Amino acid sequence: MKLISLTATLAATLLLAACGGNQDSAPATGETAPAAEAPAQAAPAEAPAAAAAEAAPAVAAADEAGKKVYGATCALCHASGLAGAPMPSDKDAWAARVAQGKDTLYKHAIEGYTGEAGVMPAKGGNPSLSDEDVKAAVDYMLNQS
């Protein structure tokens, strides 16, 4: 039974490597409006609100980039749970992974990982993705769970 499971996992990994390499991995290039300049003498109470307002477009752009990479590469497995991939909406499946820390999640997603729960091919089987693209996709999935 273990041989069948291992064979199925290997087949899924090879499929991902073959399919993932053909995906268009151009990063999203959303243009954002220039941030409004804060008044030179902003009151201390206004500073955190101004900083949050300036950070919001950057966060939204990163989330959009992650969503694009997820849809083009990651969803093949993560939308269905293929090869043990945790689905973005499955909080229980992500809990143990999140407990390891984001740096570990990024490392496994970028370099690949084989564990008891399944297989994560390096960069989702798409070697043309940048590390930043992969991190954005991981962040997108974490935000969904």
pLDDT digits (tens, 9 = 90+) for 72-102: 999 999 999 999 999 999 999 999 999 999 9
* pTM for this prediction: 0.62
Whether 53 maps to a domain, the answer reads no
Return the pLDDT at 31.
46
Domain count, the chain: 1
Q: What is the CATH number of the domain that holds 103?
A: 1.10.760.10
Better-scored residue on pLDDT, 114 or 58: 114
Whether 35 maps to a domain, the answer reads no
* % residues pLDDT > 70 (the chain): 57
Cα 43 to its chain centre, rounded Å, is 37
Boundaries of domain holding 68: 2-18+58-144
